[in-house]
Chain A
């Protein structure tokens, strides 16, 4: 089983390399990280935080948008592409299960996301360490940002696989991927904002809102990174809001989302007739 998953992952990673997805993802992350670290240089002294912690705070806000986008871009074609090329029927006559196929693809694509995240953040980290000797204090926050970004990526990769299975055509899957990104990353927060404003500090804001924030993997990612680091919280001015939620809640959400989304993708794949 492991051998089949690894072989699938190896072949998928090679395809991602040749399709330039690896290059695109890495360059995208690195460019944005570089721009952010250049733009974030001004307020450092006033906040009393080291340079790297400030950079991590900016990167957190960036990753909430960029990591899900990259993950969905890489993953939407996974099954729909096989259906369109006509490669799925042959694969399904091999002694490999659908779960193994999905896990292999997920592993390879997670490798691409992790690579992009590590290289992109490294660019920003190096820039911070070079200009501020105290920046090493921010390294734990950077490490946390890296693995939570990878978990966030895993959630959206698996969601992309589910969309790919449900749509069965690359064009439809691409549309669904864009829809997922808009809903999870943009519309969800807008909706919550509207609700909170309308509620004006009532039961919804105090009881329901924190849970709703944690339920969305993108928000859970943001809250966890902000709540875990005082420096990051101070730098963004959101420490108070994030601090009201215990850190284990968003962490659990970040861990459960990839698992749940992968199970969803497996169920959707089961309904695809090769």
Chain B
């Protein structure tokens, strides 16, 4: 059964359209990354799913329930961007409270905190925690009671690379158990291998969706080639590649994916005149920027 369905979801703030007819559905165990610049509509979409704000058009169903209803809240966990807690409470007290609000056994607080690596800090006040530690408390409360849907707003901001890896490992375990995950990020590099599907938002519109190889193929960005001529052979190489641009150390040019082999053959034909060359596929950021710009147009 589909856990989350959005159809033609629209939200306006005055004259500005924050979200424009977005349709999306998520299956149990699926991990979806929501990408976009600041103001692209990621947080708006999440708040609509959580029922914190009301939509101006379209429909949302969370496991068959209306967003924000008791049924939907019982199925959903949320990790807000820059999650905050009362500084006077200890991590343990805060998690015990959240467990009781969800009707779970408060005695599981220590186990949850240990799972996010906060076992030693559990009895300290949250006011003394670093940003990364607060983020872990946020994560601990989000995994209470094996939620069916997790909504995570920029969950890895403020985490160091090792914590980030731990975070994605935890996410893999949850997804394997059937939890659907909707997480947002502003960098494709952070989410690439760890999500099943990527959704790119730009100015409230869904401009691309698919797996990373899908997006790579759809963007059809050219390859970037760097050529390093042997000493004194610069002009000869330049003559063989009139489309290339000279830069400080060598020549660079771009070529469509399909002509990769033909290009290698041309380089090989130059023989000893070329000392070295590099062929770079489009980076993740290039792909992301491509779709974001396309949406902005």
Chain A residues proximal to chain B, CB less than 8 Å: 3-4, 7-8, 10-11, 14-15, 18-19, 85-87, 89-90, 92-97, 273-274
Contacts and interface: CB of A to CB of B under 8 A. Distances in A.
Interface residues of B, number: 29
B52 A92 contact: yes
Interface of B: 47, 50-53, 70, 73-74, 76-78, 80, 82-86, 88-89, 93-94, 97-98, 100-103, 138, 141
B103 A14 contact: no
Given A3-B103, A11-B93, A18 B70 contact: no
B148 to A, nearest CB: 13
Given A4-B101, A19-B88, A90 B78 contact: yes
B179 to A, nearest CB: 15
A2 to B, nearest CB: 11
Given A15-B86, A89-B47, A273 B73 contact: no
Contacts of B73: 93-95
Given A3-B100, A90-B83, 4 more contacts: A86-B82, A93-B76, A95-B70, A273-B53
Contacts of A85: 84-86
Nearest to B100: A7
B86 A273 contact: no
Q: What are the 6 A-B residue pairs with the smallest beta carbon separation, nearest first?
A: A7-B100, A18-B88, A86-B84, A93-B78, A95-B73, A94-B101
B97 A11 contact: yes
A15 B100 contact: no
Nearest to B79: A90
Contacts of A86: 80, 82, 84
A10 B88 CA distance: 13
A11 B126 CA distance: 14
A15 B94 CA distance: 11
A89 B78 CA distance: 9
B142 to A, nearest CB: 9
A64 B186 CA distance: 56
16 contacts: A4-B101, A7-B100, A11-B93, A11-B97, A14-B88, A14-B93, A15-B86, A85-B85, A89-B52, A89-B80, A90-B138, A92-B50, A93-B77, A94-B101, A95-B73, A273-B53
Contacts of A94: 73, 98, 101-102
A15 B126 CA distance: 12
Contacts of A3: 100, 103
B52 A7 contact: no
A87 B85 contact: yes
Contact of A95 (B89, B93, B102): B102
A3 B52 CA distance: 23
A152 B74 CA distance: 37
A168 to B, nearest CB: 15
Contacts of A93: 50-52, 73, 76-78
Contact of A87 (B86, B101, B103): B86
A273 B51 CA distance: 10
B93 A274 contact: no
Contact of B100 (A4, A19, A274): A4
B84 A11 contact: no
A273 to B, nearest CB: 6
Given A86-B80, A89-B80, A273-B53, A7 B88 contact: no
Nearest to B50: A93
A15 B103 contact: no
A4 B96 CA distance: 11
Contacts of B78: 89-90, 93
Nearest to B47: A89
Given A89-B52, A93-B50, A274-B52, A7 B80 contact: no
A128 B98 CA distance: 47
Contacts of A95: 70, 73-74, 101-103
B89 A11 contact: yes
A50 to B, nearest CB: 44
B35 to A, nearest CB: 22
A15 B52 contact: no
B89 A7 contact: no
Contacts of B101: 4, 7-8, 94-96
A7 B47 contact: no
A193 to B, nearest CB: 43
A72 B70 CA distance: 32
A89 B153 CA distance: 12
Contact of B80 (A4, A14, A90): A90
Nearest to A96: B101
B72 to A, nearest CB: 9
Contacts of B50: 89, 92-93
Contacts of B102: 94-95
A54 to B, nearest CB: 41
A274 B83 CA distance: 14
